[in-house]
Amino acid sequence: MTVQPIRLFGDPVLRTPAEPVVDFDKQLRRLVKDLTDTMLDAGGAGLAAPQLGVGLRVFAFNVDEVVGHLVNPSLEFPDEEEQDGEEGCLSIPGIYADTKRRMNVVASGFNEYGDPVRLVGSGLMARCVQHETDHLDGVLFLDRLDPAARKEAMKAIRAAEWYDPARPPTVKVSPHASAGPLGLVS
Ligand SMILES: [Zn+2]
At 92-139, the pLDDT tens digits run 999 999 999 999 999 999 999 999 999 999 999 999 999 999 999 999
**Cα 10 to averaged position of ligand 1 atoms, centre (Å):** 13
Residue 172 has pLDDT above 80, yes or no: no
- pTM, 2 dp: 0.89
In degrees, rounded to 5, the angle at the alpha carbon of residue 15 between the alpha carbons of residues 180 and 10 is 120
Q: Using CA atoms, how far apart are residues 74 and 137, in angstroms rounded to an integer?
A: 11
CB 79 within 8 A of CB 42: no
**Cα 92 to averaged position of ligand 1 atoms, centre (Å):** 7
CB-count exposure of residue 117 (10 Å: 0-12, 13-18, 19+): middle
The residue-averaged pLDDT of 157-186 equals: 61
**Cα 168 to averaged position of ligand 1 atoms, centre (Å):** 18
- Positions marked catalytic: 132
**Cα 79 to averaged position of ligand 1 atoms, centre (Å):** 24
Amino acid at 173: V
**Cα 121 to averaged position of ligand 1 atoms, centre (Å):** 18
Residue 183 has pLDDT above 70, yes or no: no
Strand partners, 43: none
